[in-house]
Amino acid sequence: GNHSNSFIHEKKIVNVAHRGASGYAPEHTIPAYQMGEQMKGDYIEIDLQMTKDGRLVAMHDEKVDRTTNGTGLVKDLTLAEIKKLDAGTWFNEKYPQLAKEVYEGLKVPTLEEVFKKFGKKANYYIETKSPDVYPGMEEELLQVLEEYKMVDSKGRTKNVLIQSFSKESLMKVHDLNPKLPLVQLFSYKNQATISDEELESIKEYAVGVGPNFSKVDGQYVKMVRNHDLQFHPYTVNERADMKKALEWGATGLFTNYPDVFNEVLNEY
């Protein structure tokens, strides 16, 4: 392939800190990402939404309601408005046993702030969320990647993977920069199967697939690996499931508990 991501080359199983170490700290906040690094997660997972004034912020939902003290759609709020919100107190209220005073008043980070904080040595697994809601999101993402030197002059990267449920969004990224390694996400409602034809077409633009773990089986993984695509299921939080994923041939996984996954990996 034309990707240069070191983990994929080295065949190391990748431990992706899903929304940061979001089992322990409020998702998509700097402390959650820091904890992901401390727990030796290989990648910081970042979901992207875009503000009214065109800035990329780390947030899972299209609305700010669940993970902040605000209400409304990200697309209707400016970055300045989003910066007024508290992105940590909800977590303390929902998980009193995990609550920490430092989570109070945390801000929603921009993608740029995350890059500033963690730099080029960290690895980022970045998802374009709701790309249909945010025209220009892919162009903005590529511009930020360039500005923070996450890609070199030839467009190559050592530390970024781009993921999306939207094939269209991935194709846009691919057209803008064919060197960026991409992962096609899937959300299956029923037990999943995938065909050689589908996998061949994915292989034309992506380096891997990321389905929901609960709907796949060993046969699915075999198909994916036969096409030499990476297999990164989400979101795998239970030890037994982590083991199962490894036995099936997963090349990495998304987890809210990167520390637990490292324990499982060390047993192997």
Residues acting as catalytic residues: 18, 60
> What pairing do the DSSP bridges indicate for beta strands 208-211 and 230-231?
parallel
**Is there binding between residue 42 and ligand G3P (CB under 6 A)?**
no
Give whichever of 155 and 244 is closer to ligand G3P, judged by the CB atom: 244
**Is there binding between residue 47 and Ca ion (CB under 5 A)?**
yes
User: Are 257 and 233 contacting, i.e. CB atoms less than 8 angstroms apart?
Assistant: no
Among 254, 259, 260, 264, binds ligand G3P (CB under 6 A): 254
Give whichever of 67 and 235 is closer to ligand G3P, judged by the CB atom: 235
Burial of 39 (0-12, 13-18, 19+ CB in 10 A): buried
Give whichever of 103 and 254 is closer to ligand G3P, judged by the CB atom: 254
The conformation of residue 27, written as its DSSP 8-state character, comes to T
- List, in order, residues 6 or more apart from 49 with CB less than 8 Å away: 56, 57, 59, 61, 62, 74, 75, 129, 130, 134
Residues 131-170 that bind ligand G3P (CB under 6 A): 163
3-state secondary structure of 223: helix
Residue whose C-beta lies closest to ligand G3P: 234
Burial 207-218 (b: 16+ CB within 10 A, else e): bbbbbbbebbee
Question: CB atoms < 10 A from the CB of 205, how many?
Answer: 16
**Is there binding between residue 27 and Ca ion (CB under 5 A)?**
no
29 CA to centre of own chain: 14
**Is there binding between residue 185 and ligand G3P (CB under 6 A)?**
yes
Among 131, 181, 210, 258, binds ligand G3P (CB under 6 A): 210
Question: CB atoms < 10 A from the CB of 106, how many?
Answer: 21
Tell me the window of 43-51, 65-73, 92-100, 113-121 that interacts with Ca ion (CB under 5 A).
43-51
Give whichever of 127 and 259 is closer to Ca ion, judged by the CB atom: 127
Residues 109-148 that bind Ca ion (CB under 5 A): 127
Interaction partner, residue 138 (Ca ion, ligand G3P, none; CB < 5-8 Å by kind): none
The sign of the CA dihedral 237, 240, 241, 246 is: positive
Q: What is the nearest approach in angstroms of Ca ion to the Cβ of residue 42? A: 15
**Is there binding between residue 259 and ligand G3P (CB under 6 A)?**
no
**Interface with ligand G3P (CB under 6 A):** 18, 47, 60, 127, 163, 185, 210, 234-235, 254
**Interface with Ca ion (CB under 5 A):** 47, 127
